[in-house]
C-alpha cells in the first residue's frame, strides 16, 4: 500500500481578484500579490515563509473536488511566466504557510550544514520519473554509491518539540543511528548524533545531527 501525505484547510469562498497578462513574470507578480493582498489579520505576506499552490476550481455544485494542481515542486525563476507555472483564467493561487517547528534540527554532511525547519523532512534520492522529490536529495553526496541507496530512505519528524527519525517502510538500505541499526517505527534523536547510511563499518555517507531551541 502506497504512503500518502496531505493536509486539509477550510477556506472562505471569497477571493481577491487580479488581472494580468499570462506571460507576466511569475516571480514579480507573486511579489506584487503578496504586497497588495488583504489578509484577515492585516499582516504582510513574506513569500519566503509560504508555499505557492496553483489550483483550478476547488468546488463544483455537488461539493466534490474537481481538480487541484500543485506546482510547489517546480522551481520558479525570474523568467517563469504565470502561464508557465500553470496559472490560467479562473484559476486560484493559494499562499500556504507551513507550521513552524518548535525546535530546530541542524544537519551536517561533509562540509555542508542544513537547517531543518519543516515538521516532516524527507531524505532520499530524487527521481523525477517516479515523482520522488525528497527535501534532502543525497544523490550528489553519494556519487557512485547512489544506486545502492533507497530513493525514499527516512524522514526527520518533529512532534511537540521532539525530533524523531523514521525509516521508510520500503527502504532497503541499512541505516544506523549512532551504532544502532534503524528499525521500523520512530526513534527519538539525541541532542547530538550521527546517522550512517550503508553496511555496518563501511558506511557510504555520514550525517551528523544537532538539536537547538
Paired sense of beta strands 162-167 and 152-159, if any: antiparallel
The candidate with the shortest Cα–Cα distance to 206, out of 157, 149, 122, is: 149
CB distance 192 to 85 below 8 Å: no
Q: Parse the chain into domains and list their residue ranges.
A: 26-96, 104-212
How far apart are the C-alpha atoms of 139 and 127, rounded to whole Å?
10
* pLDDT per residue of the chain (213 residues) written in tens, 0 to 9: 555 666 677 777 777 888 899 898 888 888 888 888 877 677 778 887 777 888 776 655 554 444 444 444 455 677 788 888 888 888 888 888 777 788 889 999 998 999 998 888 999 999 888 888 899 999 999 988 888 899 999 999 998 889 999 999 889 899 999 989 998 889 999 999 999 998 777 889 999 999 987
Tell me how many degrees the CA angle 205-207-211 measures, rounded to the nearest 5: 175
Rg of the chain's alpha carbons, rounded to an integer? 20
CA distance 136 to 122: 6
The residue ranges of DSSP E strands in the chain, in sequence order, are 51-55, 68-69, 92-96, 104-109, 112-116, 120-124, 136-137, 152-159, 162-167, 175-177, 180-181, 186-188, 192-199, 202-212
What is the residue-wise DSSP string for 118-167? SSEEEEE--BGGGTB--SEE-HHHHGGGGGGS-SEEEEEEEETTEEEEEE
| CATH annotation of 104-212 | 2.60.200.20
Amino acid at each position: 500500500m502506497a504512503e500518502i501525505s496531505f493536509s486539509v484547510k477550510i477556506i472562505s469562498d471569497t477571493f481577491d481578484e487580479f488581472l494580468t497578462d499570462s506571460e507576466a513574470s511569475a516571480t514579480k507578480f507573486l511579489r506584487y500579490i503578496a504586497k497588495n493582498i488583504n489578509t484577515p489579520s492585516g499582516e504582510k505576506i513574506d513569500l519566503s515563509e509560504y508555499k505557492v499552490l496553483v489550483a483550478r476550481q476547488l468546488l463544483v455544485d455537488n461539493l466534490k473536488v474537481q481538480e487541484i494542481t500543485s506546482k510547489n515542486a517546480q522551481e520558479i525563476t525570474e523568467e517563469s511566466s504565470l502561464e508557465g507555472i500553470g496559472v490560467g483564467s479562473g484559476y486560484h493561487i493559494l499562499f500556504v504557510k507551513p507550521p513552524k517547528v518548535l525546535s530546530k534540527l541542524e544537519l551536517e554532511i561533509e562540509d555542508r550544514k542544513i537547517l531543518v525547519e519543516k515538521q516532516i523532512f524527507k531524505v532520499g534520492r530524487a527521481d523525477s520519473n517516479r515523482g520522488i522529490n525528497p527535501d534532502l536529495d543525497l544523490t550528489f553526496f553519494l556519487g557512485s554509491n547512489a544506486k545502492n541507496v533507497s530513493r525514499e530512505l527516512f524522514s526527520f519528524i518533529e512532534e511537540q518539540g521532539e525530533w524523531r527519525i523514521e525509516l521508510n517502510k520500503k527502504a532497503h538500505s541499512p541505516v544506523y543511528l549512532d551504532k544502532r541499526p534503524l528499525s521500523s517505527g520512530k526513534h527519538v534523536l539525541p541532542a547530538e548524533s550521527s546517522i550512517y547510511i550503508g553496511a555496518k563499518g563501511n558506511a557510504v555517507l555520514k550525517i551528523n545531527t544537532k538539536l537547538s531551541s
